[in-house]
Structure 1
Amino acid sequence: MARVSVSVPVRWSDLNAYGHVNNAALLTVLEEARISAFWAGLGSQHPTAVLESGPGASQHTVIASQRIEYRREIPHLREPLEVSLWIGRMGGASLEVHYEVLPPSAGDAADAGERLPYAVAATTLVLVDAATGAPTRIPPAVREVWQRYTDEPVAFRG
């Protein structure tokens, strides 16, 4: 299974009064990972970053739904969180992006199995025509790249 791994720093403003990442701030963490993973032209090195970005893009993405399941508190960390992303489902004009928000990688592959996620999430994105706002099909070249990054959806608890 191929996944995209994105490092996202925890900012001081992401913390709440209890010293851990605020639940609403996690939406921004997911957004930053998603932009890095899928939008071209922003300096991303990810092979999945193939969508046009910026005001002149012919297609935009809109969020149709999001679901987050918090598994444990995310403390303030000096090292960036690791967000692992993949596509759980790809339709004609939409896709479900799935995530695991993980502690920073220690760089040791043997350690990877013991890193429990802080949270898991899913976002449904719809590609729309920038001029009309109408849903538009995922281009074949984009679909071909993304197909390699599809896997089973996140298993939510409830």
Structure 2
Amino acid sequence: MTDPRRFVYDAAVRWSDLDAYGHVNNARFLTLYEEARVAMFFTAARAEGFTSFEEGIVIARHEIDYLRPVDYGEPVRVEMWVSELRAASFAVSYELFDNDVLASRAKSICVPYHLAKGHPRRLTPQEREFLAPFVAS
């Protein structure tokens, strides 16, 4: 298996992310992963000259493994790549590191969606080209 190029995003841990025990709440991990996805599909894609992901992507499924608690403090690093690419969906896999220690792994099934028309759509050739360097083969 070839290692894909990873998209890397540093996410701030906010006071509001914490639970009663002083750790990042389990649901907030999904928010941190979402921030990384938005940075990739909006900011990075726009920097490469296209905005079609901004027309809509919906999440069909999330899977998450919590490996260790994350405390308030330094930003966490989210590394993500495309672990599966299909005609009308793709899977994004993530690893979240706290002080360079793996704290969580996750996977999201993303479906391109035409928000204005209210239905899923296929990936465009340009979107596939953008995703290609991040695909694990």
TM (norm. structure 2) is 0.88
Give yes or no for contact 1:71–1:117 (8 Å, CA) kept in 2: yes
Go from structure 1 to structure 2 and tell me whether the alpha carbon gap of 1:49 and 1:75 turns closer, same or farther (over 3 Å shift).
farther
Give yes or no for contact 1:2–1:150 (8 Å, CA) kept in 2: yes
Aligned residues: 134
TM (norm. structure 1) is 0.77
Unaligned runs of 5+ in 1: 105-114, 153-158
Match for residue 127 of structure 2?
142
Query: Could you say which structure has the greater relative contact order, defined with CA pairs below 8 angstroms and 6 or more residues apart?
Result: 2
Q: Which among 28, 31, 39 is matched to residue 31 of structure 2?
A: 28
Structure-to-structure mapping, 1:1-158, within 5 angstroms = 1-40=4-43, 44=44, 50-52=50-52, 57=54, 59-77=55-73, 79-104=74-99, 115-151=100-136
Q: CA RMSD in A?
A: 2.2
More strand by share: 2
% identity of equivalent residues = 34
Give yes or no for contact 2:45–2:130 (8 Å, CA) kept in 1: no
More helix by share: 2
Runs of 4+, deviation exceeding 6 Å: 45-49
- Give the letter aligned to residue 125 of structure 1: C
